[in-house]
């Protein structure tokens, strides 16, 4: 039996931090896991920028509330969930995800959490576990699932490498050059073509 593990941002919804950068004018917040491989380095940079500019959790969630899934994402997810079980495995945070999950039809989400101080500022972040995406795949494989994994960023690579089938979705050229072994799709039709035969 197959099960699909997919990333969220850049695959089903736009990158949250890029939207925050556009709203606030803080250009450095545009950096994502497509640009910086070390997640802790990236998050420490983000937290420093939020602190320096006095931004709080509500400033971020106000942006997220106005975001929509990528065009075609809901139909694709409906198609996939009609054929197999799907888990979204993301490095986003519980505190960010709710409005996006509602717009995607409440799929299962494994993600991380934030530490919020008394003033409503984001003081820190907590990973569910280090290298959590890979561990999800390993856990599912221990239950005799064949895992199909899809992502677009450096933080997805260990998940894709561990799964029986790994697929890059709209990856940047840098990741494509570093990891040429994976199949690549640039739209949901191509993803259906790649996954469909595996799910028959």
Catalytic sites, residue numbers: 7, 9
3-state secondary structure the chain: CEEEEECCECCCECCHHHHHHHHHCCHHHHCCCCCCCCHHHHHHHHHHHHHHCCCCHHHHHHHHHCCCCCCCHHHHHHHHHCCCEEEEEEEEEHHHHHHHHHHCCCCEEEEEEEEECCCCCEEEEECCCCCHHHHHHHHHHHCCCEEEEEECCHHHHHHHHHCCEEEEECCCHHHHHHCCCCEEECCHHHHHHHHHHHHC
Annotated binding site for Mg(2+): 7, 9, 152
Annotated binding site for substrate: 15, 46, 90-91, 133, 155
């Amino acid at each position: 039996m197959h099960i699909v593990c997919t990333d969220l941002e850049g695959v089903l919804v736009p990158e949250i931090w890029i939207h925050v950068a556009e709203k606030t004018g803080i250009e450095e917040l545009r950096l994502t896991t497509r640009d910086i491989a070390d997640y802790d380095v990236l998050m420490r940079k983000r937290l420093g920028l939020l602190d320096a500019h006095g931004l709080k959790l509500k400033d971020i969630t106000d942006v997220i509330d106005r975001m929509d899934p990528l065009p075609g994402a809901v139909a694709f997810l409906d198609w996939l969930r009609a054929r197999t079980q799907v888990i979204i495995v993301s490095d986003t945070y519980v505190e960010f995800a709710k409005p996006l999950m509602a717009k995607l039809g409440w799929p299962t989400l494994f993600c991380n959490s934030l530490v919020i101080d008394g003033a409503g500022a984001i003081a820190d972040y907590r990973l569910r576990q280090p290298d959590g995406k890979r561990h999800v795949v390993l856990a599912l494989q221990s239950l005799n699932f064949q895992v199909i994994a899809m992502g677009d960023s450096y933080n997805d690579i260990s998940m894709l490498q561990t799964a029986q089938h790994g697929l890059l979705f709209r990856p940047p050229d840098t990741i494509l050059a570093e990891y040429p072994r994976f199949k690549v799709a640039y739209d949901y039709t191509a993803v259906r073509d790649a996954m469909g035969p595996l799910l028959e």
